[in-house]
Amino acid sequence: MTASPIDYADVQGLVRFGYKRMTEASYVLARVKDAAAARSWLGSAPVTNAATRDSPPPTALQVAFTSLGLDTFGVPAAVLAAFSPDFLGGMTEASRSRRLGDIGSNAPEHWEWGGGAATVPHLLVMFFAEPGQLAGFMQRTTGPAWDAGFETVRRLNTADLDGVEPFGFADGISQPVIDWNDTRTRSKDRGNDYSNLTAVGEFLLGYRNEYGKYTDRPLLDADTRSADLPIAEDAPEKKDLGRNGSYLVMRQLRQDVRGFWQFAYRAAGGDLAQAEALAAAFVGRTRDGVPLVPIADHPIEGIGPDPEEVRQNRFTFDDDPTGVRCPFGAHVRRANPRNADYPGRPTGLARLFAALGFGSKGFRDDLISSVRFHRILRRGREYGPSISTHDALLAAPADDPERGLHFICLNANIARQFEFLQNAWMINTKFSALTGESDPLLGTREPRPGCPVTDAFVLQNDGRVRTQVSALPQFVTVRGGAYFFLPGLRALSYIAKAHG
């Protein structure tokens, strides 16, 4: 089977672009009020595709649906049932909440949206615009059909903090690079080394993933209704509703910026420079994004040649096997361990030997799953005003505004990508054989059976006993969330016409 060229005109632009130039954005979570009007709006919505143009557009519109939304638009039950079980089950299933760490103050019952039945959106409409153009764009794009068709659950505004997230760290630095030309699935060597180039099928449905296979999405019989849908690559007699689409995970994460810096300052004994160093250890990077481990002296596929990118991203943790430079529990080490399929990259006979378990037996070998199966494309934006470290150390005024991140990520297999990352790496108190700590930024600090302490953070020291920071408060609280399907444009048109 030969690789298919990507039809960018059928892919929503968010998959390919972060729309960084469009510094204004607003996410509208809506429910269908009048189905006919909703369909009519959707049928003519100017959704932006991923094709490049000579003059980049000043605005962009993207649309995604929850499973409830697809059902409301009349997608037949049998079609709906072929989406992935995690998407269908939704983010707030009780067993899933436990796995995602949505317990305690993170529990869906406390959410502002997505937790209770009345606030579960049907669709997510994302508006992006260049400075000064958002209000006009939203007004033009919505109009009477929108007003008649939808009611707004929440309008989530975003803030442009100039590439910095609310805690004050450079944001969105590490992203997988999509292997649009599908060189990876044909390569025998994939997995030998850490690569930032990731198979298209890890993000877009209907394409081959890192296993060379396809993830869950509905394949339809060819008939008049499905006539305009793309053909399924793995089943040419079928039409593919998922192709060129993606699963979109959205979570509203409130960040306690004051709590974060006040804790770091206290833990550092009132020394601001030390507080900065501790915060950098939590993150695994300095505030301007420089990693705590040295830049690799060899190229890494999918990183560079841009010198800024090399400076921030050309590294693995191979040169820091003891966690002395970047703690094992640091956020970037949990979020992207930058490992390969085998520790020590054995080849040939040594690899066979290693596969049978006779390779190196270091205590930390083989504890972390190979990262290439667990990448996500992050597309979130911040909200709330920025605050300097100095101001963050002051007591909060009564009207202190909420700050945080509207986390958005794209992936083709929610269970293996977003949920795995969240469960096995972020909130896992046993990540990399650590004990008693979860992610310093995202962790819940909720005790578990047999693990009464989960609020520590350990700094490994070179040839010395470790230093432990204790009693980390919870810095991030989940305020809402849902799983969406971000369809391709032809699939979008199918959804708009699904009824009747």
Partner 1 sequence: MTPQAEFFVLAPVIPAREADLRRLLASMNEAPGRLKPDNGIIPFAQFDRLHVARLLIIDDKTVGDNQVYHVTPPKYPLYLGFLGDVDGDADTFLAELAARAPAGLRALFSCCEGFAAESDLGAWMKAHGAPSSASYVNWRGRTVRRIREEAALHDALQSHIEGSASELLRMPPAGVHAKLRELVNRDVAAGRLTLSPEEPTPFGWRLRNLLHLVGVPLILLLLSPLLLVAAIVFAFRLRQLEKTDPELCQRHDPMLGAELALIEDHDVSNQFSAMGSLKPGFVRLWTTRFVLLAIDYAARHVYTRGRLARVRTIHFARWTFLDGTKRILFASNYDGSLESYMDDFINRVGFGLNVVFSNGIGYPRARWLILDGCDDERKFKEYLRRHQMPTQVWYKAYPGLTAADLERHVRIREGLESASLTERDARDWVALL
> What is the contact surface with partner 1 in residues (CB under 8 A)?
81-82, 85, 88-89, 93-96, 98-99, 211-216, 322, 341, 354-357, 359, 361, 363, 366-367, 369-370, 373, 413, 415-416, 419-420, 423-424, 428-430, 433, 435, 448-451, 460-461, 463-468
The identity of residue 212, as a single letter, is G
Taking the complex as a whole, the smallest distance from the CB of residue 211 to partner 1 amounts, in Å, to: 5
Taking the complex as a whole, the smallest distance from the CB of residue 43 to partner 1 amounts, in Å, to: 31
Taking the complex as a whole, the smallest distance from the CB of residue 185 to partner 1 amounts, in Å, to: 12
Taking the complex as a whole, the smallest distance from the CB of residue 95 to partner 1 amounts, in Å, to: 4
Query: Between 52 and 322, whose beta carbon lies closer to partner 1?
Result: 322
Taking the complex as a whole, the smallest distance from the CB of residue 484 to partner 1 amounts, in Å, to: 19
Query: Between 152 and 423, whose beta carbon lies closer to partner 1?
Result: 423
Query: Between 414 and 495, whose beta carbon lies closer to partner 1?
Result: 414
Residue 144 neighbours by CB under 8 Å, 6+ apart: none
d(CA 252, CA 340): 31
Query: Between 357 and 397, whose beta carbon lies closer to partner 1?
Result: 357
Q: What is the DSSP letter of 241?
A: S
Taking the complex as a whole, the smallest distance from the CB of residue 17 to partner 1 amounts, in Å, to: 29
Cβ neighbour number for residue 321 with a 10 Å cutoff = 12
d(CA 417, CA 373): 7
Q: Which of 121, 155, 102, 129 is nearest to 33 (CA)?
A: 121
Query: Between 396 and 451, whose beta carbon lies closer to partner 1?
Result: 451
Residue 334 neighbours by CB under 8 Å, 6+ apart: 425, 426, 431, 432, 439
Taking the complex as a whole, the smallest distance from the CB of residue 434 to partner 1 amounts, in Å, to: 9
Query: Between 78 and 395, whose beta carbon lies closer to partner 1?
Result: 78
Which 3 state secondary structure label does DSSP give 477?
strand
Query: Between 175 and 370, whose beta carbon lies closer to partner 1?
Result: 370
- What tokens does 492 get? 């979008």
Cβ neighbour number for residue 18 with a 10 Å cutoff = 16
Residue 462 neighbours by CB under 8 Å, 6+ apart: 322, 324
Taking the complex as a whole, the smallest distance from the CB of residue 463 to partner 1 amounts, in Å, to: 5
- What tokens does 198 get? 């990731």
Q: Which residue do the tokens 């101001």 mark?
A: 391
Give the strands of the sheet with 235-240, arranged side by side: 219-221, 235-240, 231-232
Q: What is the DSSP letter of 247?
A: E
Query: Between 275 and 371, whose beta carbon lies closer to partner 1?
Result: 371
